Amino acid sequence: MSAVVLPPNAHVTVLLQEAVDALEIKAGGVYVDGTFGRGGHSRALLARLGPQGRLIAFDRDPAAIAAGRALGDARLTLVHSAFSAFDEVLDGLGVAQVDGVVLDLGVSSPQLDDAARGMSFRFDAPLDMRMDTSRGQTVADWLAEASVGEMTEVIRDYGEERFAHAIAKAIATARTGGAVATTGQLAAIVEKAVRTREPGQHPATRTFQALRIFINQELEELTRVLPACVRRLGTGGRLAVISFHSLEDRIVKRFMRDESRPPVLPARLPIRAADLPQPRLRLVGKAARPGAAEVAANPRSRSAVMRIAERTEVPA
């Protein structure tokens, strides 16, 4: 059998069946795909929903929303918005509770592979990096005005880059001769500033990751949406979150861990363990990762980790 050759910018959904299986789909349920992308999870969810089922899908990227409209499924409601507007959007749709939520975090292959988006140093293109190209500040705009201290903090904290200060100083020096406006310019500046790098990794990898995460406020968005998901889940509803780097996964892991534990009360308080408030979540299984076959077919999946939790009984 010949191998299937995908288009260069095709998006291969990671842990597709595992995520959909984890949600334990009810045919008539209401579900949320917080990151539509190119619709991998949404299509799989719709395939399991019955005629009365409903799917609400968020995405910040206008191109993703356009791709979603082509599905033409009346059960699907597409929302051009960051998922941090979870509560506001569901209120506007008259949806009080949902049966499951999937969040596939990070950047999609079409965004990485489209040179015009400026998210990859593989192409020399305008330094944009916005997930929502219809609003907000580009990375080039931010670099033009950020101080060395601000750039250092972003590159260090969001990219876990040990040469952050040297990179920030190099950018500040370079912009005195004109704007750092393209991915090629930035990659060249970083390459000269970084003295050593892990084998097989481009010197600019961590800096590009940091600037993308920062300009899109990805970690802040995640921190805001997780509590909203739990508030909206009905009893037995599932939350599945797929992360692609340690900063995201750390937030998800700690949130699910804390929400699955009883509240910590003063040691001498006369309350029996049985009378403590029930945690809002129950952890489901261990963290799941792609198997060897999936990683071989889609190398970008290698860093993925999925965590699942279930809503405990919702008080009446």
pLDDT in tens, 29-82: 999 999 998 889 999 999 999 999 999 999 999 989 998 998 989 999 999 999
- 200 has a pLDDT exceeding 90: no
**Which pLDDT value is given to residue 9?**
44
| CATH pick for 135-215 out of 3.30.420.40, 3.40.50.300, 3.40.1190.20, 1.10.150.170 | 1.10.150.170
Binding site, annotated residues: 39-41, 59, 83, 104, 111
DSSP per residue over the chain, as a string? -PPPPPPTT----TTHHHHHHHTT--TT-EEEES--TTSHHHHHHHHH--TT-EEEEEES-HHHHHHHHTT--TTEEEEES-GGGHHHHHHHHT---EEEEEEE-S--HHHHH-GGG---TTS--B----SSTTSS--HHHHHHH--HHHHHHHHHHHH--TTHHHHHHHHHHHGGGS---BHHHHHHHHHHH-----TT--TTHHHHHHHHHHHTTHHHHHHHHHHHHHHHEEEEEEEEEEESSHHHHHHHHHHHHHHTSPPP--TT----GGGSPPPSEEE-SSPB---HHHHHH-GGGTT-EEEEEEE-PPP-
Q: pTM for the complete prediction?
A: 0.88
**Which pLDDT value is given to residue 265?**
63
**Which pLDDT value is given to residue 308?**
98
Closest CA to 19 of 239, 295, 298, 250: 239
Q: Where in the chain is the domain with CATH 1.10.150.170?
A: 135-215
Average pLDDT, the chain: 89
Q: What is the pLDDT of residues 98-125, one digit of tens each?
A: 999 999 997 777 777 777 787 788 888 9
- 4 has a pLDDT exceeding 80: no
Q: What is the pLDDT of residues 7-23, one digit of tens each?
A: 344 557 889 999 999 99
Higher pLDDT, residue 6 or 265: 265
Fold of 16-109+218-262+271-311: Rossmann fold (3.40.50)
Average pLDDT value for residue range 192-210 = 88
- How far is it between the farthest Cα atoms of the chain? 69
- 256 has a pLDDT exceeding 60: yes
**Of all residues in the chain, what percent carry a pLDDT higher than 70?**
92
Confidence grade of residue 316 (pLDDT, cut at 50, 70, 90): confident
Binding site, annotated residues for S-adenosyl-L-methionine: 39-41, 59, 83, 104, 111
Q: Where in the chain is the domain with CATH 3.40.50.150?
A: 16-109+218-262+271-311
